[in-house]
Amino acid sequence: MKLFFIFLLLISTSVMGQTILFLGDSLTEGYQLSKEEAFPALIEKELKKEHKKIKVINGGVSGATSASGMKRMDWYLKAKPDFLVLALGANDGLRGMKVTETEKNLSNVIEKAQHRGITVILAGMKMPTNMGEPYRTQFENIFPKIAKKYSIKLIPFILEGVGGKPEFNLPDGIHPNPKGHEIMAKTILKVLEPEL
């Protein structure tokens, strides 16, 4: 009887496929866009061409900071994700939060995920020039530093080719429009797809 249940477990595991969690803020959520236009949905659609049973969870919440990552992570762990794309920190930078706090918060989320065998990919962020050069440099440097410390893959800048370009952003100049999300999806896929 015990062998039968082990057999069932192995079968269910093999057919379930992999789950990817995107833990982020309004950039991940797809601020003012439909769910289908946000980059997590675009990535899922692209990945399903080769990985039929892949599942993507959009864990983006507008206004989220790195401090909220741990609490929200607990909730999403119920879905047993295999991969975590950690895209938090933008709001920390825009609010001028201490770089050491952002680094600590992101590290805590990564450690929690790795402890559960989840593969983590970190999405890097850059700040606008009005934040001042010293802060801007310190902030941008935490992402490669953390990636190296935990031996995880890094997406150098999640808004590569999108940030600062009006044609790829909403009128607020901060949040990507549908075309911007298409570019973000491609940027993320370059790092994510080889990991699957």
Instruction: Write out the catalytic residue numbers.
Output: 26, 172, 175
Is residue 120 a contact partner of residue 150, using CB atoms and an 8 Å limit?
Answer: yes
Rounded CA separation 178/168 (Å): 8
- Residue 176 is encoded by which pair of tokens? 């990507």
Distance CA 161, CA 9 (A): 44
H-run or E-run covering 21: strand 19-24
Strands (E), 37-177: 55-60, 83-87, 119-123, 153-155
Phi and psi, residue 160, nearest 5°: -55, 125
Q: Which residues of 56-86 are buried (b: 16+ CB within 10 A; e: fewer)?
A: bbbbbbeebbbbbbeebbeebeeeebbbbbb
Cα–Cα distance measured from residue 86 to residue 72, given in angstroms and rounded to the nearest whole number? 12
Give the phi and the psi of residue 23 in degrees, each rounded to 5. -105, 110
